[in-house]
């Protein structure tokens, strides 16, 4: 499948997260994004260096600025189970805006066409690093990284597009 690109409608799919009451929730992506302007960004893995030290903190730090430019929600997706995502989210106590969503089987990542085979590194199927700006389910900006790069999917790059 070709990677999602500008002009495409994002596929629907089910992702998981823990709510504020620590209850496991399954949610459809379309229910999170329909009628809204959202940033959907993906990372190769929870607790990995670039993801944990640069990518996620950038969106947390810039969340108010992104919201001031009309972004309703900031959604982080990783091919990890919801328990890992819950623990990872706890490492950012100042986070109020970024929702940590688990794509445990990589089904949604595959639907986006953004899977990355890291089997040689012992990590199995993961997500390519990306940031999508989505307006009412339609992709307006698709910043998808090549290989292990982190050059175009940062919060700063999304801000430039707003």
Report DSSP letters for the chain, one per residue.
Answer: -PPP-TTPBPPP-EEEEE-TTS-EEEEEHHHHHTTSEEEEEEES-TT-HHIIIIIHHHHHHTHHHHHHTT--EEEEEESS-HHHHHHHHHT-TT-SSEEEEE-TTSHHHHHHT-EEE-GGGT--EEEPPEEEEEETTEEEEEEE--TT--SSSSHHHHHHH-
Specify the higher pLDDT residue, 8 or 122.
Answer: 8
Q: What is the pLDDT of residue 124?
A: 67
Encoded tokens for 7: 């002009």
pTM summary value: 0.94
Tokens 């900006």, residue located: 141
Percent of the chain with pLDDT over 70: 98
> What average pLDDT score do residues 146-151 get?
87
Answer yes or no: is pLDDT of 126 > 70: yes
Position 20 confidence tier, pLDDT thresholds 50, 70, 90:
confident
> What average pLDDT score do residues 41-51 get?
92
Active site residue 111: no
Task: Select which of 38, 51, 75, 102 is catalytic.
Answer: 51
Encoded tokens for 60: 């947390």
Position 28 confidence tier, pLDDT thresholds 50, 70, 90:
very high
pLDDT one-digit tens code per residue, 48-92 = 889 899 999 999 999 999 999 999 999 999 999 999 999 999 999
């Amino acid at each position: 499948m070709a990677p999602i690109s500008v002009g495409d409608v994002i596929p629907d799919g089910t992702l998981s997260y823990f709510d504020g009451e620590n209850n496991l929730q399954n949610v459809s992506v379309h229910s999170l994004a329909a009628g809204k302007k959202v940033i959907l960004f993906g990372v190769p893995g929870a607790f990995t260096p670039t993801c944990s030290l640069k990518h996620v903190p950038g969106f947390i730090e810039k969340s108010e600025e992104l919201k001031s430019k009309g972004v309703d929600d900031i959604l982080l997706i990783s091919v990890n189970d919801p328990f890992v995502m819950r623990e990872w989210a706890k490492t950012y106590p100042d986070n109020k805006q970024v929702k940590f969503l688990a794509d445990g089987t990589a089904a949604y990542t595959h639907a986006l066409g953004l899977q990355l085979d890291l089997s040689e590194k012992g990590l199995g199927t993961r997500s390519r690093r990306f940031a999508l700006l989505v307006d009412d389910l339609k992709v307006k900006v698709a910043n998808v990284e090549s290989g292990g790069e982190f050059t175009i999917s940062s919060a700063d790059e999304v801000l430039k597009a707003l």
